[in-house]
Amino acid sequence: MSHSTPVDRPASESPDAAPTQVAGQPSAHPSRTTELASLKIRLRAALRQFPDFPSPGILFEDILPIFIDPTLHEALIRSLELHVLQSGNGQKPDVIVGLEARGFLIGPSLALRLGASFVPVRKQGKLPGPCETQAYDKEYGQDFFQMQCGSIKPGQKVVIVDDIIATGGSAAAAGELVKKMGGSLLGYVFILELEFLKGRDKLQAPVFTLLAGQEGKTT
């Protein structure tokens, strides 16, 4: 479960900053804000970096240490829970949608914590029964995501989760599947972001990155 980005520019620290109040909106719960900021520091420190893997000029970020340590795993799920509670203005999602495959690492646990259902999005042909299908573009051609029909009811509030946002194509496809079923998409939640790929520009709902994104440019 890992992510990569060119090493020629430092990581941006702005997403790790504590949430700030926006004019006209209620301020975040102060104790939750402090707790979230502290948890982010612990999680960021746990990540491992592997320069020049899988090829020269690439910095590979490994999130597996978070799952090896039960206390860090708990900190990750608690951090995501705190964000959802802060951003929802009292509204909890009815459904957590996790993208294949690394969204399955965090989606079910977060859903249980929030008292929500969990719905997987999988590659075409992996789910039984009637499914909704959505195409998305990859670097070399198209791929297809599917969700089982009826897994989201019209009007249900939905949050989509995954480990990383890169180009944003797969996340956008998942959002389209939610809309096809009549769900109300509250937003997207990711652990990391490759900011230089500008994937969030493709998403038509609020995007939250838990840890500092990485900036860079293709060479």
pLDDT single digits (tens) 63-75: 999 999 999 999 9
Number of domain units in the chain = 1
Which parts of the chain have pLDDT scores under 50?
1-27, 217-219
CATH of the domain at 80: 3.40.50.2020
Is 14 inside any structural domain?
no
Is 9 inside any structural domain?
no
> Which single residue is written with the structure tokens 């230089």?
196
Which candidate in 61, 113, 139, 200 is catalytic? 139
Is 201 inside any structural domain?
yes
Terminal Cα distance for the chain, rounded: 24
Which candidate in 61, 102, 132, 193 is catalytic? 102
Q: List beta partners, residue 187.
A: 159
Burial 156-192 (b: 16+ CB within 10 A, else e): bbbbbbbbbbbbbbbbbbbbbbbbebebbbbbbbbbb
The predicted structure's pLDDT at residue 87: 86
122 tagged catalytic: no
Specify the 3-state DSSP secondary structure of 62.
strand
The predicted structure's pLDDT at residue 214: 65
Is 130 inside any structural domain?
yes
Alpha helices in 150-209 (DSSP H): 169-180
Is 218 inside any structural domain?
no
Query: Which residue range(s) make up the domain with 168?
Result: 32-209
Is 205 inside any structural domain?
yes
pTM, entire model: 0.82
Is 50 inside any structural domain?
yes
The predicted structure's pLDDT at residue 79: 97
6: CB partners within 8 A, 6+ apart: 57, 58, 59, 196, 216, 217, 218, 219
113 tagged catalytic: no
Token pair for 117: 């259902």
Is 191 inside any structural domain?
yes
